[in-house]
Amino acid sequence: MQSGSIVRQATAKARRSVLLALAGAGVIVTVFLWQHMDRAAKEHTILDCLVEAYQLTADILLSDERLTMSALMAAETGKSSWSERYAKNVPVIDRAIKRAMEIAPPELSAKFDSDTRWANDELVDMEKNALKAAEEGDIEIARKILDSDTYRKNKETLTLGTTKFVEGMIGNLKSELEKADTHAALVFSLALVFGAIGGVTLWVLLVRNLNKSEAAFLEIENRVRHLAGHDALTGLANRHSFREKLATKLKSATDSGTHFAILLMDIKGLKKINDLKGHMIGDLVLTEVAQRFSSILGERGHTARFGDDEFVCLLETSDKNEAIALAEEFVTSLECPISDDDNSVKAGASVGISFFPSDSGQDEDLLRKADLALRKSKTDVTSNVVQYHSSMDEELEERTRLEAELREGLRSGQVVPYFQPIVDLETEQVECFEILSRWEHPVRGLIPPDDFIPLAESSGIIGDLTLNVLRSACKTVKALPGDFSIALNIAPQQIQDDWLVQGVLGVITETGFPPERLEVELVETALVSDLAAAKRIISSLKNLGIRVALDDFGTGYSSLSYLSELPFDKIKIDRSFISNMLQREENIKIVNAIIGLGRSLGFHTVAEGVETEMDADFLRKIGCPSAQGYYYAKPTPAKELGAVLKKLEPAREHREIA
């Protein structure tokens, strides 16, 4: 470590200077040399221990912050990557604490162990339980554990105990250094008795070199403190340091009656940049974003890196319009590409804003409300900057209630499959049923998928919902006369689910539904998010005999590249091209082109959104194999499938006679 070498160089200079001073002192010099070398060795050892103690302090603080952040993020997102980060940091803090206890006095180590062992053990158990709950999809339980008073009190006990232990350890080392200095002073006094000139010369040299050693030590101390409070990549303050700054600012603003704003920013597309370009380019993006934000903010506030792809800004202003304008300037600054010699990438940002004191007078509540506004900005199609409003808390409460009701609805069978037939245009016989989820709520009535599927996706229960609906659909269609297939829609984020294929296999095995009669439909956004994972999923499904379709074809800019890379069995023409096809010549050309493309590549083609007989007749004439839409039937509950089939059969016979 460079800082350690500075101390060694300084102490080496001190020894050389002392040796020169002793060269002309005869017997007194010999005695003094022995005494000084003994003192210098002690000083060197103590300085090394001090350096190590400050480094261990930084390691303990950083690792503790990372453990807390990992547990909180796992509870917030349910992602296993945060649990893995938590597990990686456990041995780091354990090693740091163990080494600190080795170099500390035994009585100090024993007191630290007795003061904190129960809190640490209980804290670790709570974090592990929270991580386990998050991994099992029980995000609400995980949050409750980490938001509990018990967790906070244990955290405070452990932090206080660690702080006292570290302060005691460093204080003890400094005391030893002072004792060494005292011993050196005694030696100097004796030297003065036997040789005033040699002693004075020696004292001057020692003081001079001791000052150099002290300067080197202070430099190390400053570096350790900077490391403990700053992000190593961007150089900005870290989460822990920002929280301390916010608490201090909150107190001073309360006393002085001043106002300020919290701007919480999320960098869009960072995961995609890391996946496509590598983490070195992702780090380049984060560094450049930090520089641009700091440049724009100037001396008007403080910026920190708050998470992997999150930054936070404390803006000292009473003008809400100024805060919004600054946030918009942040977002605009990212429109300029970030480049190195070989790569050029473009990021984006979403910003949520809360204000003191109008939104809250508490630091954690200000951050929470800024985060609520940030979530809103991520889904707002009109603006990337959103200011907190009290309605967001109401929306969160309603969302929380609805999520709890959805979980209960899944357990009690309220979420059921509806079926829409896909018809062979040549024979006009039903060849397949697309499965569409509906929530038959006992109080709210029939809830359409647009109102609860996004909730299922964000709360991590989309996998259970999909498998429950598939299980019910398999049983229903298997009981129908005829070998009808079913088509199952997969949400984009389910591509990341390593257990997706096993779950589907478990359902069809349980119900005895033939895999060759099952189709899985993927939308292009699923492929964009992780093409490699999509390839693995599609390959595994096809190995089981399950067909795979690309849904909503034609709406994505890179659909053709996916057709060349992925072995689809079917493409479905998006309804936006069919609904007004006969009124728009451009749409006719696009539909013709897609049908021809499917024919040349060997894909079965289905036209979605067929609503009139004229649409069906035209598609039949231009060679489209299959169609789906309200012209044949709306999405239908299981109990009405028989009636739908009877309705379609006479219609087919009538058209054949005509």
Beta strands in 89-232 (DSSP E): none
HEC sequence for 49-116: HHHHHHHHHHHHHHHHHHHHHHHHHHHHHCCHHHHHHHHHHHHHHHHHHHHHHHHCCHHHHHHHHHHH
Closest CA relative to residue 355, chosen from 329, 386, 378, 331: 386
Residue 203's pLDDT is what? 63
Residue 94's pLDDT is what? 78
Structural domains of the chain, ranges and CATH numbers in brackets:
2-229 (no CATH), 239-388 (3.30.70.270), 409-653 (3.20.20.450)
Residue 552's pLDDT is what? 85
Q: Collect the ranges in the chain with pLDDT lower than 70.
A: 1-66, 74, 166, 169, 173-174, 176-178, 180-207, 209-227, 341, 381, 529, 556-559, 650-658
Task: Classify 343 as helix, strand or coil.
Answer: coil
**How much is the pTM?**
0.57
β-pair type (310-315, 301-305): antiparallel
Residue 318's pLDDT is what? 87
306, 307, 310, 315: CA torsion to nearest 10: 0
Residue 2's pLDDT is what? 45
8 A C-beta contact, residue 569 and residue 549: yes
The phi-psi region of residue 554 (left if phi > 0; otherwise alpha if psi is between -120 and 50; otherwise beta) is: left
8 A C-beta contact, residue 635 and residue 422: no
For the stretch 192-227, pLDDT in tens is 565 566 656 666 666 676 566 666 666 666 666 666
| Beta-ladder partners of 637 | 418
Q: How far apart are CA 261 and CA 330, in angstroms?
A: 15
DSSP secondary structure string for all residues of 494-530: GGG-TTHHHHHHHHHHHHT--GGGEEEEE-HHHHHH-
User: Tokens 């709890």 appear where?
Assistant: 404
Residue 656's pLDDT is what? 45
DSSP alpha helix (H) spans, 257-339: 270-277, 279-297, 320-333
Residue 498's pLDDT is what? 85
| Beta-ladder partners of 441 | 445
Q: How many CA atoms lie within 13 A of 8 on its CB side?
A: 6
152, 133, 368, 284: CA torsion to nearest 10: 110
Q: How far apart are CA 566 and CA 74, in angstroms?
A: 33
